[in-house]
Amino acid sequence: MRAIGIILAGGNSQRLKDLCKLRAIAAMPVAGAFRAIDFALSNMSNSNINKVAVITQYNSRSLHDHLSAAKWWDLDRKQGGLFIFTPFLSRENNYWFRGIADSIYQNISFLKRSHEPYVVITSGDAVYKMDYNDIINYHIEKGADITICYKDLAGGSQNPQDFGIIELDHENRMTGFEEKPLEPKATTASLGIYVIQRSLLIKLLEAAIPEGQYDLVKDIILRNKNELNIFGYNYDGYWSTLNSVNAYMRTNMDFLKKDVREMLTTQPYIVTKPKDEPPAKYNYGADVKNSIVASGSIINGLVRDSVLFRNVFLGEYSSVKNSIVMGSCYIGKGCVIENAILDKEVVVADGKQIIGEPNNPIVIPKGQIV
């Protein structure tokens, strides 16, 4: 019990368009059965971090529903467990969280009442599997005040311009940091995963917030970069954040690759809230290749290179190619779905076609009847 965890799940993105109209990014469905936050939550409990705060703000209803019982992540504890922090009104305070640092500061009693020496802060919007003990050990070994996890994006499909770019010297000490630079000086992107001493975090927050400094990166990390030992920790495993429709599509499709899928099929497992659906049912007309099909689904048609979530019904002579079909969608007979993202509970009537472009998938919002 040497660390507590904070998962930042308040985020929304205009770039996710209608997919995020009704839900926080952390609640985005991923890989057939999960929501994005399952990855951060499972990482916490798999790293023996048993006291975890989830900070929510934007459209948090679906997230609260998902987190209504902490037992699935082994976080139903008397000592520690899961804490969910939303903005609230009080005599002193009648505003929403004004930034990430502010959202932690408004719940500073969580930090003050803990005794663990370290805090692991991560975003609930990213898909990755990490043992946080590795980064905590590195943090201790380096004698760091703050450790920032980064990944070299060179050669990958993610654009450095979308990320905070960390500049490092030969010892991996941070020398500079630029938020979403137009002309990045490096390809080493911050993953928004930090380790910091709990007492230091309290001190920095108490200094910054009363001065109106509410941002974690700008006002806590960069402002103190000359006074503190800030190190980068290189992570070279799979990491993807859901910051646009294309990134969402790509992340889901990545799970059709064996090496990415192994993240789910090897221990320690990524865990989600169980839905108790029966096994997927393949009927006579089923023809499925290179696809993920979640439980409760009934397949009568053709599926290629796609991810089908729970309880999807696919009618006879219909085809789904290179698409994401979220939970409880109903696709009738003789439909064609290509390069599309069907949000939950979409109904596609017999014979309808929904066809997007390979690099620009068409998004059908939740519950729409086509």
Is the CB of 205 or the CB of 280 nearer to another protein? Answer: 280
Interface with another protein includes 276 (CB under 8 A)? yes
- Rounded Cα distance, 294 and 157, in Å: 27
What lies within 8 Å, CB to CB, of 327 at 6+ separation is 29, 294, 309, 310, 311, 312, 344, 345
Give the per-residue contact string, 230-269, with another protein (x = CB under 8 A; - = no).
Answer: --------------------------x----x--xx---x
Q: With CB under 8 A as the contact rule, which of the stretches 126-134, 164-172, 230-238, 293-301 interacts with another protein? A: 293-301
- Rounded Cα distance, 146 and 127, in Å: 23
Among positions 95, 236, 284, 358, the unique one binding another protein when judged by CB under 8 A: 284
Among positions 290, 349, 351, 367, the unique one binding another protein when judged by CB under 8 A: 290
CB of 289 to another protein, least distance (A): 6
- Rounded Cα distance, 138 and 123, in Å: 20
Interface with another protein includes 200 (CB under 8 A)? no
Among positions 56, 272, 318, 339, the unique one binding another protein when judged by CB under 8 A: 272
Among positions 84, 286, 347, 362, the unique one binding another protein when judged by CB under 8 A: 286
Largest CA distance in the chain: 68
**Could you count the other beta carbons within 10 Å of the beta carbon of residue 217?**
18
CB of 41 to another protein, least distance (A): 12
| AA letter at 87 | P
Among positions 253, 270, 302, 341, the unique one binding another protein when judged by CB under 8 A: 270
Among positions 156, 176, 274, 367, the unique one binding another protein when judged by CB under 8 A: 274
Q: With CB under 8 A as the contact rule, which of the stretches 11-19, 32-40, 88-96, 245-253 interacts with another protein? A: 32-40
Instruction: Give yes or no for a contact between 277 and 310, defined as CB atoms under 8 angstroms apart.
Output: yes
DSSP state of 367: T
Among positions 222, 280, 320, 346, the unique one binding another protein when judged by CB under 8 A: 280
Q: Which of 12, 17, 5, 75 is nearest to 245 (CA)?
A: 17
CB of 347 to another protein, least distance (A): 16
CB of 50 to another protein, least distance (A): 18
Give the per-residue contact string, 296-315, with another protein (x = CB under 8 A; - = no).
Answer: x-x----x----xxx-----
| AA letter at 223 | R
Interface with another protein includes 289 (CB under 8 A)? yes
Give the three-class secondary structure for 115: coil
Instruction: Give yes or no for a contact between 269 and 256, defined as CB atoms under 8 angstroms apart.
Output: no
Interface with another protein includes 295 (CB under 8 A)? yes
- In a 13 Å sphere around the CA of 266, the CA atoms on its Cβ side amount to 8
Give the three-class secondary structure for 111: helix
Q: Which H or E element spans position 246? A: helix 245-254
Residues lying near another protein in the complex (CB under 8 A): 31-34, 71-72, 256, 261, 264-265, 269-272, 274, 276, 278-284, 286-296, 298, 303, 308-310
